[in-house]
Structure 1
Amino acid sequence: MEQGQKKPFSGPVSVLHGRWLPKTAVPVGYAALIDAFDLAVPIPITLAAIGPRHKVYQAEGWKLYTPRHEPEASLTGHLTFALRYEGLDLAVLKMLFRATGPEAVVEIVRAAPTGAYARRLWFLYEWLLDQPLDLPNATRGTYALVVDPEQQWASEGETSSRHRVKNNLPGTPAWCPMIFRTPELDDFVARNLGEEARRVIAEAPADLLARTAAFLLLKDSRSSFQIEGEDPPQDRIQRWGQVIGEAGRRPVDRMELERLQRIVIGDARFVHLGLRQEGGFVGEHDRVSGAPIPDHISARHEDLPDLIDGLAAFDQGPAARHLDPVLAAAALAFGFVYIHPFEDGNGRLHRYLIHHVLAERGFNPPGLVFPVSAVILDRIDEYRRVLESYSRRLLAHVRWRPTDRGNVEVLNDTADFYRYFDATPHAEFLFRCVARTIDVDLPEEARFLRTYDGFRAGLSLMIDMPDRLLDLLFRFLRQNGGTLSKRAREKEFAALTEDEIARIEALYAEQRHD
């Protein structure tokens, strides 16, 4: 067996790591490496195995390959298979390199010094562990891409002459989420939603656009509080809306995040401001004992400065700038909420970071904020499932104990679990939310204002009515499908004649279908 290997590579199995296979099959790639080296790391969303059929298919969290795809049952064989077919899982690779030690990777490179997979592994070892291997600089071999851009979204990259590779990873060793290419993401990126949004608003009058933008901004601010189960006063909603409207103007770093937290919290008498100084989790407490019942455990407080610096470097670095803005926003915002660096305010700051990236990269039309929080609120169950897509896999590998204050203390090194996560489900979800705002919310709000303006102008030619009552009349008609209810006729608008009501309803219908 290889150095650090706990047991031989598996033969055919029906279940691995608590996950049933669709058919009895031989685990390969990351599945085989995690099992053989007993790696305590979040399991990839999809694992690979060699099945009996001569057809590649995917089911129940597994991708089954044909017998002709089966690699040699060795470290080299399974690592090569993983890089070739499964892309990069940086958390698994880093933990594996620590388990094997440097000599195993040196042997792989010496056995195939010009091989693209060997040189990629060599680069990844030194990049992830910041430890040079006892190897001379490569002098032969075609330059290879570290990330296969057919499998995962990558940056433009920079050359590493030592390894004869092009480092096109989208982040840095301090923080580098990865996103797989999927048909859904390919379609969304090809749509160029930012340009679609600009076309939607291109013909809108300036005053109409300004009012639409103001409404959507307020809607997003209110929804962000509602997601957290809060119902703050209007002035607090407006203040946070103003902050969202300024997103993208300042770089996101620790100082800026702490400034934003102070604004979010408002009354900080019972909340510690700044980075946490103890553990953190999301979940409940036992009603009897007060012991924590976590659904998600946050990064250790000792790791927060490095993680936040890494997150900031990702946001400001040239590598991530090559990513589509929505992909970058998903990686940054969901990475932040998994780290959960503050005692309170993480959820609203997480959604603020979406606005930050979209605005800073010029994705939004100038002066317009996509009401992403409002769409998330409408899709709250899907949002929670997306958050849990990683939290549940992470939770199984965090060792912790309860503290006497009803908190958690993490006992193992977990920083890499937050640095290197698979942000694919998060990117797909965020794209769906942004597309909904462009396809539905933006045109709907503009249509609403046009209808309201036309109704208001037409009504002023019929009747003199205070703005307050006119707004109420329009709202009643809108809520009741264009008809004034019997209650409204008898109460608020009892002074209207039947003929006037008929003309008002006709005016509303005319504006609705204009």
Structure 2
Amino acid sequence: MAGAHKVRFSDAVTAFQEQRLPEAATPAGYAALIDAYGLAVPLPRKLFATGKRHRILDQDGWRILTPRHAPQVSLEGHLTFALKYEGLDLAVLKRLFLTTGPEPLEAWVRETPTGVYARRIWFLYEWLTGETLDLPDASDGRYVLAVDPDIQFGGEERNESRYRVKNNMPGTPNFCPLVFRTEVLEAFTAQDLAEKARAVMADVPRDILARTAAFLLLKDSRSSYAIEGESAPQDRIQRWGRATGEAGQRPIDIDELQRLQRIVIGDARFVSMGIRGEGGFVGEHDRVTQVPLPEHISARPDDLFGLIRGMSDFDRGPAQQLDPVIAAAALAFGFVYIHPFDDGNGRIHRYLIHHVLAERGFNPPGVVFPVSSAILERIDDYRDVLESYSRRLLPLIEWEPTERNNVEVLNDTGDYYRFFDATLHAEFLYECVQKTIEEDLPQEADFLRRYDAFRSKVEAYIDMPDRTLDLLFRFLQQNDGSFSKRARDKEFSALTEDEVRYIESLYARAFGRGSAG
């Protein structure tokens, strides 16, 4: 019988791996498999169980189904439950396959050769492990999707005749984050924000559009440094802004990432450039012992080249068929978790968002959404999203401090970075992109219109050099539309009372009182 390994599936419990259940229930699906087979994997964000009551309970990270949903107490029973109700968790599945070996899965397929779930598991086993099960090609049964599109976002469909499965995996075996369908993401994908952005900019005169684009590009570059706690000199901000403006024009590979790091760092005298050869972590050091206190541990050096190739293949292949914002979230947050460099990872991570959006034509030509600015305004939410996976990942990583007070990872962690749930990351990124389209783009274009109107009226009223006119505007902007006493007494002492009142009235008509521009 398939799944007849010497494992014991749990009965009803009130706690599971240090987590309390909202009521006594029997772990099912991935929770049951993780427990029974002792799998060292990040726990799914939502765990499933079956209870005694005939109602469904969603609470405290658990979804407790009714007794009629209870699966057969076996490997195949819980795998069927997982595929049916939970979607794919590739990290769990791969670790499970390596633990069970091929025999129980071969037996399951032989027992039900046309079974929908057996054939999906057969496909997933060979796709994830690269090993071939001792089974003849399927000869019957309707084609079934590998990823259930009602549960998770899938990629382009390709028929795999060996299993009679439609391969719609949204990645490759070397890099395949998955995103669940949620009400939030369904609402965002239905909005067509790309079209909304084009409509916003369609009525903007060409000269104002160019100035808007230039301002937003610098705003994004400055914000990206600020997120890292850096106040970079203007030349570095402009250099990184120029690089961001070219996002999407070159494929992402190791050479391109290293080129971007050189632009980000600038002065490399005190930074080890290129793909790191040691461990990496985000966090602090103990003040006394200097032992690392990691909040996130990066991928092992031995895994970096393979992971980057996986990201490159994802970017050139499956990402082209995914929703652009979802693809950008998967690629960019995957990169920052991998953390392949000693320095520059955060800014390149945000560059990759621009790369995908620009490559897919999501933003209007020549316009960069100031996503970094939106992130900076929600920096606590951004950190929560980053930590949503790091918190689940950290307990699984075995490490020891090095002589240089770094970390050395002792166990195999590569799959933790290949396969992660990017749902919260996609929701957050969509919120940031929406803000840039609905607020930043129109507000900046409108500001420039008002500024031009104000400036032309002042120029028509009084002769003033450009630099002086710019200074006048800044004073008014900073003082709620009025000349400060310092401005009246010093820089603009030559203006008469009537001129002062008239210029203040021009500002009020253009911007209104209290406008910061």
By the TM > 0.5 criterion, same fold? yes
SS of 1:176's equivalent? coil
1:10 deviates by: 1.2
8 Å contact kept, 1:376–1:383: yes
Aligned residue number for residue 369 of structure 1: 368
Q: Distance in 2 between matches of 1:213 and 1:56?
A: 50
Letter of the 1:470 counterpart: L
1:392 deviates by: 0.8
Letter of the 2:303 counterpart: D
Q: Distance in 2 between matches of 1:52 and 1:467?
A: 77
Q: Is 1:402 matched with 2:401?
A: yes
**1:494/1:53 Cα in 2 relative to 1: closer, same or farther (>3 Å)?**
farther
1:6 deviates by: 7.1
Q: Deviations for 1:279-319, whole angstroms, at most 9, x for unmatched residues? A: 111110111111111000000000011000000000001x2
Q: Is 1:128 matched with 2:108?
A: no
**1:303/1:398 Cα in 2 relative to 1: closer, same or farther (>3 Å)?**
same
8 Å contact kept, 2:3–2:75: no
Q: Is 1:393 matched with 2:402?
A: no
**Unpaired runs of 5+ in structure 2?**
none
Letter of the 2:448 counterpart: L
Q: Distance in 1 between matches of 2:54 and 2:464?
A: 76
Q: Distance in 2 between matches of 1:93 and 1:471?
A: 62
Q: Is 1:320 matched with 2:319?
A: yes
Q: Distance in 2 between matches of 1:263 and 1:323?
A: 29
1:25 deviates by: 1.2
Q: Deviations for 1:425-467, whole angstroms, at most 9, x for unmatched residues? A: 0000000000000010001100111111011001112222232
8 Å contact kept, 1:6–1:37: no
Q: Is 1:429 matched with 2:428?
A: yes
Within-5 A mapping of 1:142-291: 142-291=142-291
SS of 1:396's equivalent? helix
Q: Deviations for 1:152-196, whole angstroms, at most 9, x for unmatched residues? A: 001121111000000000111111000001111111111111111
Aligned residue number for residue 416 of structure 2: 417
Q: Distance in 1 between matches of 2:5 and 2:466?
A: 76
1:328 deviates by: 0.4
8 Å contact kept, 1:4–1:99: no
**1:79/1:455 Cα in 2 relative to 1: closer, same or farther (>3 Å)?**
same
Q: Distance in 2 between matches of 1:135 and 1:283?
A: 48
What stretches of structure 1 move > 4 A for 4+ residues in a row? 1-7
1:266 deviates by: 1.2
Q: Is 1:329 matched with 2:331?
A: no
Count of matched residue pairs: 513
Q: Deviations for 1:11-66, whole angstroms, at most 9, x for unmatched residues? A: 11111112211111111111111011110000111101112332223111111111
1:3 deviates by: 6.5
Q: Distance in 2 between matches of 1:218 and 1:253?
A: 25
SS of 2:461's equivalent? coil
Aligned residue number for residue 463 of structure 1: 462
Q: Deviations for 1:342-389, whole angstroms, at most 9, x for unmatched residues? A: 111100110010010000111110000000011111111000000000
Within-5 A mapping of 1:332-343: 332-343=331-342
Q: Distance in 2 between matches of 1:204 and 1:88?
A: 45
Aligned residue number for residue 497 of structure 2: 498
Q: Distance in 2 between matches of 1:195 and 1:465?
A: 42
RMSD value, Cα: 1.6
Q: Distance in 1 between matches of 2:86 and 2:488?
A: 66
SS of 1:461's equivalent? helix
Q: Deviations for 1:406-442, whole angstroms, at most 9, x for unmatched residues? A: 1000010000000000000000000000000001000
8 Å contact kept, 1:4–1:37: no
Stretch deviating more after TM superposition (268-277 or 145-154): 268-277
SS of 2:27's equivalent? strand
8 Å contact kept, 2:2–2:76: no
SS of 1:427's equivalent? helix
8 Å contact kept, 2:282–2:296: yes
Work out the percentage of aligned pairs sharing the same amino acid. 65
Q: Is 1:103 matched with 2:97?
A: no
1:493 deviates by: 3.0
Aligned residue number for residue 347 of structure 1: 346
Letter of the 1:498 counterpart: E
Q: Distance in 1 between matches of 2:413 and 2:2?
A: 25
1:5 deviates by: 6.0
Q: Distance in 2 between matches of 1:481 and 1:4?
A: 76
8 Å contact kept, 1:4–1:101: no
Q: Distance in 2 between matches of 1:470 and 1:58?
A: 61
Aligned residue number for residue 48 of structure 1: 48
Letter of the 2:305 counterpart: P
Q: Distance in 2 between matches of 1:188 and 1:482?
A: 38
Within-5 A mapping of 1:15-34: 15-34=15-34
Q: Deviations for 1:181-219, whole angstroms, at most 9, x for unmatched residues? A: 111111111111111100000011100000000000001
Q: Distance in 1 between matches of 2:73 and 2:466?
A: 78
Q: Distance in 2 between matches of 1:6 and 1:334?
A: 39
Aligned residue number for residue 115 of structure 2: 115
Letter of the 2:410 counterpart: L
8 Å contact kept, 1:174–1:306: yes
SS of 2:22's equivalent? strand
Stretch deviating more after TM superposition (396-405 or 45-54): 45-54
8 Å contact kept, 2:2–2:108: no
8 Å contact kept, 1:6–1:36: no
Letter of the 1:379 counterpart: R
Q: Normalised by the size of structure 1, how large is the TM-score?
A: 0.97
1:4 deviates by: 9.5
8 Å contact kept, 1:145–1:168: yes
Letter of the 1:463 counterpart: I
Q: Normalised by the size of structure 2, how large is the TM-score?
A: 0.97
